[in-house]
Amino acid sequence: MFSIYEILPEIQELWGTNLITDVESKKPQGSSREINTALFLLRCLEVGLSLSDLDLLTIGMVLDIWTEKGNDGEKYETRAVVREANQHDFDVF
């Protein structure tokens, strides 16, 4: 039986999580400070999360909420043509 620590490097290699890319962020970063507990809690309060909310969320979920909050002011183009489906569309589906 393998422990997770023995096979983790192989899993990371298969998933490509150790790849280093030269991708630049589209938006300038708000802060270059390292996050600590006080700053984490402050940012949570700024987006309306209470301490009891944090019991139900993972750090990843909180980071997703922060990202979505940061994207609130973005304008997105939609080029989809909205039309009602007909019988041919259902047959193809």
Rounded to whole angstroms, how far apart are CA atoms 30 and 21? 21
Count up the domains in the chain and report the number: 1
Rounded to whole angstroms, how far apart are CA atoms 65 and 85? 34
Residue 77 lies in a domain: no
Rounded to whole angstroms, how far apart are CA atoms 52 and 73? 28
Radius of gyration of the chain measured on its C-alpha atoms: 21
Residue 60 lies in a domain: yes
Residue 20 lies in a domain: no
Which domain covers residue 57, as residue numbers?
35-68
At residue 1 the predicted structure's pLDDT band, cuts being 50, 70 and 90, is low
Residue 92 lies in a domain: no
Please give the C-alpha separations between residue 19 and each of 13, 37, 40, 76, in angstroms, as whole numbers.
8, 29, 27, 29
Residue 5 lies in a domain: no
Residue 16 lies in a domain: no
Residue 54 lies in a domain: yes
pTM of the predicted protein model:
0.46
**pLDDT, tens only, 14-67:** 666 555 666 666 666 666 678 788 888 888 888 889 888 888 998 889 989 988
